[in-house]
Amino acid sequence: MLILVLSLSISTYAQKEHMKFMGIPLNGTITQFQQKLVTKGFSLYREMNKITPAGTRVFKGTFTGRKSTVAVYYNERTNVVYGAKAFFDNLDKNNADEEFDRMKNLLHEKYIFASYSDEEKDGLKKTYIYNIQGDLGEISVYQRKASDEFSINYPFIYSVHIEYTDYKNYNKNRNSQLDDL
């Protein structure tokens, strides 16, 4: 009997939990999430928001001690947040490799028992982190490179991204999109 009660308690608790980005659950409305980011020192990145697609809101601030841009993803109909990412841009290849390794090491330190999967394609690294805290979601760390037309005279074309996805709200968002079909 005690085991049954304990199992139900853990199951109920797990259903209420969500992935967190900067200690903020990836849940609630975009307005609520924005308020929490602002209290952490972020500000709305107005210029970038003019060109981003609906369902994405962009901010400027500090993530893991470094200036970064943060994009928050939410369902356009319900305004419920399901993901967020921080990225560092204007890097050269060496800085991008160093930043990628720094992010990956920090994640290994925080999520000791999570599962990791590494890839490399065209010299760009990517790591997936999953089975996080009872399979709440996943984190991806990856490098990107701007188009080669910029690389001729401009070496700072790399960026490093760290993206968090809450499975529960992502699936709700996805199902909402599928309902349109």
**Looking at residue 6, what is its pLDDT?**
35
pLDDT tier at 5 (50, 70, 90 boundaries)?
Answer: very low
Residues 35, 47, 67: CA angle, nearest 5 degrees: 65
pLDDT one-digit tens code per residue, 105-147: 999 999 988 999 999 998 999 999 988 877 899 999 999 998 7
What number is the average pLDDT over the span 81-107?
A: 96
Pairing of strands 115-121, 81-91: unpaired
**Looking at residue 155, what is its pLDDT?**
58
What number is the average pLDDT over the span 145-164?
A: 76
pLDDT at 154 over 90: no
pLDDT at 20 over 90: yes
**Looking at residue 12, what is its pLDDT?**
37
Contacts of 163 (CB under 8 A, 6+ apart): 83, 84, 85, 139, 140, 141, 142
**Looking at residue 131, what is its pLDDT?**
86
pLDDT at 166 over 80: yes
Q: What is the pTM of this model?
A: 0.85
What number is the average pLDDT over the span 100-107?
A: 96
Q: Where are the alpha helices (DSSP H) in 45-161?
A: 46-49, 93-110, 148-151
pLDDT at 150 over 90: no
pLDDT at 1 over 60: no
